[in-house]
Amino acid sequence: MFEKILIANRGEIALRVIRSCRERGLRTVAVHSEIDADALHTRLADEAICIGPADPTRSYLHIPAIIAAAEITGADAVHPGYGFLSENPEFAETCAQCGLEFVGPLPDQMRQWGDKVTARALAKSLGLPTIEGTELLEDVEDAIKKAESLGFPVLLKASGGGGGRGMHILHSKEEVRAVFETARTESRAAFGNDALYFEKFIERPRHIEFQILGDKHGNIHVLGERECSIQRRHQKILEEAPSVALSDEMRSDMSATIRRAMSEVGYISAGTLEFLLDESGELTFLEMNPRIQVEHPVTELVMGIDLIGEQIRIADGQPLELPERPLSPRGHAIECRINAEDPDTFAPSPGMITEFHMAGGTGVRVDSGVFGGGRVPPHYDPLIAKLIVHAPTRVQAIAKMRRALSETIIGGIRTNIPLHRRILAHPAFEEGRFSTRFLDELQA
Amino acid sequence: MKLDLDQLRELIRLLDESNLTEIEVEHDDDRIRVRRDPAPLVGAQATQSVATAGAASSEHPSDVPAPVDENGTYVTTPFVGTFYRAPSPDGEPFVEVGDSIVPGQVLCIVEAMKLMNEIEAEVAGTIVEILGDDGKPVEYGDRLFRIEIS
C-alpha cells in the first residue's frame, strides 16, 4: 500500500482527498501557491510545499514544480482532484516516468475520452446510445452542409471545450455563416484548439450522469446516476441522486449497458458518463469525464461508498469489492454548490470571509476549503463549500436542505445562497419537473 | 471605515508618491492595507540545465520578488527542489560567505525532476549569509543567500 500521497489541488477537493487518506492511515502532502500559504489544505495536510506564485500556470498547473515537490517529500502517488491537471495525459505520463502512481485513468484513456468527437464515436462503437453529431468541421461551407444534413437547430461546440463554455445554438445556415469564424477564434483562445463540431440540439433536456469505478483487474462498478439539470451558464450548481426522471428499469438497463461498454475498454479509476434525457425519455451519451467530479458526494451518500478512497485503492492495484447484486440508491441526496459570487449576476466575489458558519445536524455534510478570517483569492474557482444533505425521501431531503441553508452564515463576501433558496422554494423543482433550462426560466 | 473609494484613491496616491511598499490604516476594527511588490533588485535567474532525462523543460523567467529588508537583499529560489552548493558531491562550493559576486555568476544549483537548474546572481555584491542547507529541499520563494549590494 502507498504510504504518502501528494494532492495536486487546492480548496475543498484537496481537503476531501486528505480526509480519505487520513482515515486510511496514509500520510499527505499538500502543494500550494504563495497566496494559499494559510489555506486549509496547506494547514491540514501532514506536509505542505510552496510550489509557485498565485498564477495557477506557475503553480497548480506547473508540472515540474509538482513533481519536484513529490520528489523532495518522498510521495508514492499523486491525486489530481478535479480541474487543474486532472485530465492532462502528459501529467499522468510524467508521474509514471518519475515513479509516481497517478490516481486516475491511464493516459491513453484520458486521451480517448478527452476529445469529444473521438469519445462519441468510441461510445457508439461500444453500444452506448449516443447523441447525433458530426465529425469536425473543416470550414464554413462544410459546416453549413453538415448542419443541414443533421437538421436545424444544431449546437456548435468546441472539441477541446468544457465547463459549458464555447457553445452556440444555431437555427439556420445564415446563423452558421455569422458565427462560425468567431467561434473558431474563441475556441482557439480559450482551449488552444480550434476544432469545432455540431451536435443535435435538444430543446429541453435533463442532464443525467452515471458514476463508474473500474479497477486494474477488469472489474467495472456502475454506481447509479446523478441529476445535474440545475445549471447556470451551463455550469452545474445543484445536483441530486437519484434522479426522479429515471425508473428502476431505466437505471438498471443503462447500468448494464455501461458495465458492458466500459469493461470492453478496461476503464480504470473513477469516471462519469454524461447523458442527455430528452422529453420522450431517451438517454443519449454526451461525454465522459475521466476523473472524480465535484458532485461525487451525492453518490457517496446514497450508495454508501467512499469514491476517493476507492480511487486510491484502485491505483494501488487492489480489486474492487463488487456487491453480488447491483446496488440500489438508499434515500435521496442533494448538493448545493456554494460559490463566492453574486447570486443574480454571477460575478465573482472574492475577498475576506469575515464570518463562516456552516450548517450541521443529522444528515448534513459540508465539504469546504475555507474558514472565517480566511480569504477567497481571485485567482481560482469560486466554489467555497458544498452543502450536502441525505434523507429517506426527496421531499425530506428538500426540507433538510432548506433548513441547512437557513443555518448557514457567510459574511464578508457575496454567495449564491439566495439563489439556492429560490430554487428549493420553486414548485417545479419540488415536483421534479425541470430541464437544463430551469434557471434561465427562473431568472427570466 | 467602510471601504470608501475616495479614501482608497488617496491611499494609492500616497503610496505612488512615496518610496514605501505598503501602507496600512487601522481604525476601530477596520483595516485597509495597500501594497505593491518591491521592484526586484536581486533575483535569481534559471539557466540551462545540465542533466538530460528527457523531462519537461523547467525554464521560465524568474520574477520572484527579491525580499529586501534592513539586513540586505536575498536571492530566493524560483524552483521547488533540492539545494546544492557545489556542482558535484565532492566539488568545491560555488560561493562562500565573504565572496564577491558579479551578475551572471552561478551561486548554487536547485535540482528538480533530475534537472540541475543553476541559480545566477543578478547584481554585484558580497555574500553575507548562506541560508540554504546543502542537499536539503527548498520550496518556491525560499531565501538562499543574503547579499550586500556593492
CATH superfamily of A132-200: ATP-grasp fold, A domain (3.30.1490.20)
- Report d(CA A192, CA A195) in Å as an integer: 9
Q: Is the CB of residue B125 less than 8 Å away from at least one CB of chain A? A: no
Residue pLDDT, tens place only, A297-325: 999 999 999 999 999 999 999 999 877 77
Question: Do the Cβ atoms of A213 and A307 come closer than 8 Å?
Answer: yes
Q: Is the CB of residue B55 less than 8 Å away from at least one CB of chain A? A: yes
Nearest-Cα distance to chain A for B45, in Å, is: 15
For residue B67, name the pLDDT band (cuts at 50, 70, 90). low
Chains A & B: contacts with CB separation below 8 Å: 56
- B55–A52 CB contact, under 8 Å: no
Domain positions in chain B: 5-35, 45-149
Catalytic positions of A, written as ranges: 291
The secondary structure of chain B in percent helix, strand, coil, rounded to multiples of 5, reads 10, 35, 55
Pick from A62-66, A242-246, A419-423, B43-47: least confident: B43-47
- B140–A52 CB contact, under 8 Å: yes
Burial of B102 (0-12, 13-18, 19+ CB in 10 A): exposed
Domain positions in chain A: 4-103, 132-200, 206-443
Assembly ipTM: 0.76
Residues in chain A closer than 8 A to B79 (CB atoms)? 64-65, 68
Pick from A27-31, A156-160, A356-360, B133-137: least confident: A156-160
- B113–A49 CB contact, under 8 Å: no
Q: By CA distance, what is B60's nearest residue in A? A: A58
- Report d(CA A346, CA B106) in Å as an integer: 49
Q: Is the CB of residue B32 less than 8 Å away from at least one CB of chain A? A: no
Nearest-Cα distance to chain A for B60, in Å, is: 9
CB atoms within 10 A of CB A443: 11
Residues in chain A closer than 8 A to B140 (CB atoms)? 34, 50-53, 59, 65
- A71–B81 CB contact, under 8 Å: yes
- Report d(CA A349, CA A352) in Å as an integer: 10
Nearest-Cα distance to chain A for B6, in Å, is: 20
Question: Do the Cβ atoms of A367 and A16 come closer than 8 Å?
Answer: yes
* pLDDT at residue B113 in the model: 83
Residue pLDDT, tens place only, A137-180: 999 999 999 999 999 999 999 887 776 677 899 999 999 999 99
E-strand ranges in A295-370 read 332-339, 351-352, 355-357, 364-368
Residues in chain A closer than 8 A to B115 (CB atoms)? 64
Which residues make Cβ contacts (< 8 Å) with residue A379, sequence separation at least 6? A33, A35, A54, A55, A56
Residues in chain B closer than 8 A to A53 (CB atoms)? 63-64, 140
What CATH number was assigned to the domain covering residues A206-443?
A: 3.30.470.20
* pLDDT at residue A226 in the model: 98
**Spelled out in words, what is the top-level CATH class assigned to the domain A4-103?**
alpha beta
CATH topology of domain B45-149: OB fold (Dihydrolipoamide Acetyltransferase, E2P) (2.40.50)
